[in-house]
Structures are given as C-alpha cells and as structure tokens.
Amino acid sequence: MFGLWTSFLDSIPGPVPPGQPDAARAWWQMTPDALQSLLSTGIEQINHILSNDPLLRTIDQTWNANPLRDIVPVDWGEVARALRIVWLRGMGRPETALASVTELNMRLWQTALATWNEAGQRWLEAASGPIPAAPKPTDKRFAAPEWQLNPAYRVLKEAYLLASDWLLKQGEANDLDEAERRRLTFHLRQFIDAASPTLMLFSNPAALRRIMETGGLSLVEGTRNLADDLRAGRLSMVDATAFAPGRNLALTPGKVVHRNRLMELIQYTPSTEQAHQVPLLIVPPWINKYYIMDMQPKNSMVRFLVAQGFTVFMISWKNPDASMEDITIEDYIGLGPMEASDVIRDITGSQTLNTMGYCIGGTLMTILLALLSAQGDKRFTSLTLMVSLQDFTRVGDTAVFIDEPAIELIEQQMMERGYLDSRAMSNMFNLLRSNDLIWSNVVNNYLMGEKPAAFDLLYWNSDGTRMTRAAHSWYLRNTYLENNLMVPGKVTLKGQPIDLGRITLDLYAVGAEKDHIVPWDAAWRVTQLVGSKVRFILASSGHIAGMINPPGSKGNYWTNDATPAPATPTTWLQGATKHDGTWWTDWTSWLAERSGPRQALPTLGNATHPPLHDAPGTYVLEK
C-alpha cells in the first residue's frame, strides 16, 4: 500500500511559476475542479496498478491450491476486488469518505464509553443484589453471555457490528448498476462474516470456556475434526452416519414400477380404502435427491398426501456420471415426466393426471406444459409449483454466481469431467447462507470440538447429485443468463416453439417468505405469465423449511383471493390474509377438487409395468 501511495504522489507535478496551467501546478495550488480531476486520474492509475498486481492475480490460484478451500469455499479473489472497489470509491470522494470514517470512529468511542460505564454501574449494583441476566441476543453468533456481560467482549462485538454496517453501506453505491452493486454487497458480506471475532479461538468466550471445561480435550477434538474434513475434502455439516434413505428416511411404502436410464418411477402404497380418480405425479429437481418430499414419517409430504387419499407417483432422477454427459434437456422432458405420465395412465386407467414440480422440477414442468399446449395434448389437469422460477429477471444473490465468465468456467469443468460435481452447486447454496451453513459449523466442529448434529434436512442437503453437461449448460444459459423463457418462441424444443402464455390449465404456486434461492416475488411472477388463473400462496420460512412444513409445525401462510388479481407482488401482499398453520391443507383442498371422485384403489404396477423394486429404489442410493 505504501508503494501504491508513493507512486500516486510521484504522479503529482511539483511547484511551477505563477501563470502556468493548473495541470502543471502542485495540488495545494490548484482550484477545486482541477484537484478533483487530478484525484480521478490518480485513482485510475492506482486501479490500473491493482488490476495488474501479481498479488491479486495469484490470490485465486493460491486459494485454489489450498485444501481449506474445499472446507470454506469463499472466493477471496472476489472479496479482495470488492474491498478494492470500496477503497477506490472512497478516494474518489475524499470529503465524504473522511466524514464517514469520522462518524464511525465517533460511534465506536461512544459505544465503548457507554459499555464501560454500564459495566461499572452493574458492578456497583452487584454489591447489593444479584447480577442481572444477560438479555437475549438478536445475533445467535453472540449467544454466549460474555458478549453482553463482559465489557471487553461487548466492546469487541459492538465494534465488529458497527464496522460491518459501515462497510456494507460503502457498497450501497448509486453509481453502480444493480448487478454490480449486488455482487459488491455479496462479497463484502462474505468478508464481514469471515471476519467475525467468534471465528477466532482467543476471541470466542464460548470456545475458551469449553477448553477449560474439557481440560483441553475440545481443542484436540477440534483439530481431529479439521483433519478429518481435510481428508474428506468438505466441511462436515451433519452427522453422515445418522441417516440413510430406506433406513430412517424415504420410508413411505411403495414400489418402483418403471425404470429407464434417467429416472425411476415410484408408485406409493395407498393408506386409505379409496383414492381419488386422478393420480398425482411429483417432479423433483434433478440437482437434489427426491426424498426431500419423503423425509421422516413426521414430516413426509408424500405420506401426508397418501393419507389424504391421493394416488402418488414420484420421479427419482438418476445420479449421472461421465457416460451421460450428452443427456439433454429434451431427454429430461421425454424420459422424465412424459414417459412417467404414459406409465401412470396405463397403470391407473386415468387419462389425465395432476402434477407438482419443486424448484427447477417446476421449471421443467412449465416448459413441458407449454410444449403440450402447443400440441393440443391435455393429459395434465393441473400444475402445482413449489418455489419455482419461470422469469429469471430477479434471482436474488444467486445472480452473483451466474454470469458469462462463471458459466464458461462451469462448462469447462463439465467438459473435463462430463458432469458438474455436486459440491460446486452445494458450495454456491451454502455461501448464500454462510453464517448458518458454513461458519456456524466451523465454530462447532473446530473451535468447540463438537461433532455435527444429526439433522435430516441438512443430511439431505449434503446428499447432492451431479448434473449432466449438456442439460445443465442449456438450463443455465436459457434461464439465468439469457432468460429466454420470457420471449415467446425464443426456445424451441422437439421442433416446437415454447410460449408460457399458452398454458391454460389450473395452477397453484407457492413462494417462501425468506427464500434466498427463489425470491417469493419472483415466484409470484408466474401469475402474470400463463394464460390461466393462478392461486398463489406465500409460505413462511425459506426454500426448504417453508415447503416441508407438515400440520402441527410452526409456520403460517398468506392468501389473496381478490378479484381482479393484484397486478404486482407488493399489492398482492398488502391485501393478503394471514393464516396459521401449514399451506399443505389449503393445497390438498384445492387439489382434491381437481382429482375426481374417490374410487377403488389402483394396483401397484400392472402386467405391463410390474413392480421392480421396493421404494425408495436404487437410483436414490447412488453416490
């Protein structure tokens, strides 16, 4: 930094005789406009130096060679660039930067003085009464009582939070476009989260207390946990031995009644004496295992649906390997829901069926239904979309990872391997909630010396799948990068132009209030894209917990039955009605109206499609 500063000073000319132009004068002799011009020129020079600095160029290479990158997948090169941008913008507005830093320092001193004064008052009061309990923290990283009751720790915490807010505000620049501002803020937040004092052993009171309580054993166990994770090449987030599909997950009885090279079709055993005439096909995302919708019996959506008298079929996607690199999006359509629907109609005798798609499974079904609508094929009666995108204009922080250079890198990796490794996608989603999914586990595993907890949703999250090269490249480019589904006829599949406006069947769509992958107002956009009436529901919680929310769990949801339907998500929310409980009951009532009368139970498979294997099948077990 000293070298950069001196190079900047060297670019400033020395004193010249009066009457010479401002460009040749020393900085203290210049007019304000000329000085601002000189600063801008100097900033451009420094920016050029930094952009060509071998240190910044090698940050990515060094980190990529570091085995810790597999554990903490933060892109430190991007973090360095974000900090550089903040620094350069501050130099471009020195008066604003100076005022901002001065205000920050004043707030730091005020906070420190107030904390020590409060501590002194508390100590005086403790002589005549009990020590008051620490208030409940709003940030769970600082849950240890020392962060509130010990003035040194409290000053450290408040200084960190004040500095964090200050740095994030520096990224809120009006002179940056939305994409660049989002990228800047995201990487600044990654830096802030990584700089938390709770991540350092000697500034984490809970970890120090744990060392004293265990006689240093927690430090030994933490080191062992780190060594184990380095060998495994990943951060342990869950007890991997606590769960397994078919043992204590994916337990709803059923049979695999059809199998091809891309999917297994599971038909679930009825649990009622009669079932609705029209069956239901569930299409999960192909980037995750299907059993998110059939976890433990207490939170299994499949078990709940079967108990409501629905005949449920589930697609279980194969975990692809390098031999499947040429599998296309048309294969996912044809070998997936299209072939599954033919089998279901043959088994049940119903000429129509309902379908539900979760996340990109919903995007796949939307594309298929637009294709079938153009062909006049009416085999599907209704579509349910769970946290699914069709318009990719707003994709939240996910956009940080999806641009032309990023996709080119992903495509290069897929060309080398034939697929995209599941860890690449997992790392992206984990970084979207780094405090919850990365840093909390760093503290638990390495500083506290604890083993990861046994949590079914986290186990599913860690049980990732690979993605075929051709299909995944098509998906990323036609959705996140180019948003081609928004242009009627821009996408052509099986020789047929795709137009979402031609979808006219009944549609039920669910968004999640705190979804960091599919923002709820982006999920709402489907109400404006299709040619049918859409019942939109807003669930509480996030992308997973908001969907897997059985009766009896905490949660609520919002509905809006206004006529005409609200034209924007803001007006929809303003007129929405809040309901306690799960949206599952609202959905099954809506679905029952479109599933026909109850009748005798269908058989599990038939002579043409005999049962091949017990649920959960074989594809879901592939690693």
Q: Which residues are catalytic?
A: 359
Q: Quick one: residue 581, left, alpha or beta (phi over 0 = left, psi -120 to 50 = alpha)? A: left
CA–CA gap between residue 488 and residue 308 (Å, rounded): 38
Tell me phi and psi for residue 264, to 5 degrees: -110, 140
Q: Please answer whether residues 430 and 73 qualify as being in contact, where contact means their C-beta atoms are separated by less than 8 angstroms.
A: yes
Q: Are 276 and 597 in contact (CB under 8 A)?
A: yes
CA distance 32 to 43: 16
Question: What CA–CA distances, in Å, run from 170 to 36, 163, 190, 273, 422?
Answer: 20, 11, 15, 63, 35
CB 379 within 8 Å of CB 372: yes
Tokens, residue 15: 């004193």
Cβ neighbours of residue 408 closer than 8 Å, sequence gap 6 or more: none
d(CA 45, CA 50): 9
Question: Cα-flanking dihedrals φ and ψ of residue 135, to 5°?
Answer: -65, 155
The rounded distance, in Å, linking the Cα atoms of 527 and 539 is 16
CA nearest to 449, candidates 234, 227, 245, 233? 227
**Side chain identity at 464, as an amino acid letter?**
G
Instruction: Give 68's contacts (C-beta < 8 A, 6+ positions apart).
Output: 230
Residue 477 has which token pair? 């480019």
Contact 256, 612 (CB under 8 A): yes
CB 13 within 8 A of CB 24: yes
> Who's near 472: CB < 8 A, 6+ residues apart?
410, 414, 420
d(CA 231, CA 481): 35
Rounded CA separation 406/386 (Å): 27
Distance of CA 235 to the CA centre of its chain: 17
d(CA 185, CA 164): 11
Cβ neighbours of 223 (radius 10 Å): 12
Q: How far is CA 171 from CA 69, 159, 325, in A?
A: 25, 19, 40
Whole-angstrom distance between the N-terminal and C-terminal Cα of the chain? 48
Give the tokens for residue 80. Answer: 């360095």
**Cβ(500)–Cβ(370) under 8 Å?**
yes
Enumerate residues 6+ apart whose C-beta is below 8 A from 514. 540, 541, 542, 546
Helix (H, G, I), strand (E, B) or coil at 324: helix
Residue type, 279: P
User: Which DSSP letter does residue 29 get?
Assistant: G
